[in-house]
Amino acid sequence: CEACGNGDSGIYPGAAHNINANEKFTVSRYAIEIENCYSHDNALGYSGTAGDSVWAHDNVFMRNATGVSTDSLFPEHPGLPQNHAKFERNVIADNNADYYAYVRDGTCNKPQIDRGYENGVVCPCVGIPTGTGVINAGGDWNIWQHNWVYGNHYAGFILTWAPGLVRNAKTWAAQFDTSHHNRYLGNSMGVAKDGMKSPNGIDFWWDGQGIDNCWQSSRPSGTEPLALPTCGSGWSVIGPGTARYVNEPMKLISLLNCARYDLVSQTVPCNCQWFGAKGFSRLDVQISTGEGVLTVLVVAVLLWRCLSPPSNLSVVGALLGVAGAVVGVIGAIYEATPWCGIGFVLLGGWWLASGVALRPRGRPTLGMVTIVLAVFALLCAIDRALWMLPWIPFSPSYVRILLEIVWIPWVIIISL
């Protein structure tokens, strides 16, 4: 089969028969088999809202905005949340088409007969990450193995949370029933079938939410975050894995921002990386920059008011704080690099030095809270860059942010 020119997807096995809902990775059969199809020049090469028990193999998904999407995002689809898709031996490559330009310039607001579909115009029905091979937005028990995933300028694979509210499921359990037990195994990342190298922007991007997910060890273009759980033999995970029910706070903000896309109102968030925002035009980088500026101001207030006259320890701490603020912004700009973790280490050093310096100056409680803040900054560094902490339901970033909300006004008030 061949499919092209669609504003939604070229191939759509949505709401497939949910025959494996109670199974794990090994199933006796699949409800739908898709093979030897060529899906190109669409918004999505493949889309499967509630695409349950679909076996897609030996297909080609090329030159779309996004190659493949499996999701649990839209209500009134039987079989939600999506589960048990298996993708193997597919070519998922060069999915970099920016059809949102036709929304921005008003082409998609014209009568359909005047839009120029015959000349390759595509009007995307939904907001998707341009330059991505695969996005799995709220899927469980999916297997992605032995595919050729290359030349996707943003990411090879994306895995994100899809809370039940987005599909009108209002029970407490439904808010946390997606993005669990997914496997990424033996995929050829950044390499075509003929051996030609064509790297992805990032090989694997994850928002940090989910239980028992793991990724292959071959990741030549890196991962975001750096510390992804690695798959072992069979279907196992090396180590204890993760048990996160909520995604990283900055990634949550970014995803909510990108979700504002709307074709009818011609809304394309200009500060969303999915739609081409880069560097300081990205919302997450703008927020990180604001945090960096605030950090530098608090460093100055703390040093010249609370710790005056400054000791050698407090001066060294202040320098670490300024460096951490700068490096944190660099880490936000350059995903899949160690900079974010390094920034947290530097900030942790600042808080630790400041906390130790505050205690003998008549501020023992503030000093202790500052030291606790340092501990959580260092835990964030470990969690993002070295080893994702197991057995906790959310990132240590949430505790750090809550402590900062208390600590920053506290420092400002006692400095007045």
pLDDT of residue 161: 97
- Say if CB 272 and CB 283 are below 8 A apart: yes
Whether the predicted pLDDT of 160 surpasses 90 = yes
pLDDT of residue 170: 92
- Reported as a pLDDT band with limits 50, 70 and 90, residue 356 is very high
Rounded percentage of the chain residues whose pLDDT exceeds 70: 100
pLDDT of residue 217: 97
The mean pLDDT of 126-146, rounded to a whole number, is 98
Read off the pLDDT of residues 244-291 as tens digits, 9 standing for 90 and up.
999 999 999 999 999 999 999 999 999 999 999 999 999 999 999 999
| Range 369-373 contact pairs with CB under 8 angstroms and sequence separation of 24 or more | 369/403, 369/406, 369/407, 369/410, 370/407, 372/403, 373/400, 373/403, 373/404, 373/407
- Whether this prediction's pTM lies above 0.85 is answered by yes
Rounded percentage of the chain residues whose pLDDT exceeds 90: 99
pLDDT of residue 366: 97
pLDDT of residue 416: 87
d(CA 174, CA 206): 20
Read off the pLDDT of residues 12-39 as tens digits, 9 standing for 90 and up.
999 999 999 999 999 999 999 999 999 9
Read off the pLDDT of residues 212-254 as tens digits, 9 standing for 90 and up.
999 999 999 999 999 999 999 999 999 999 999 999 999 999 9
Read off the amino acid at residue 123.
C
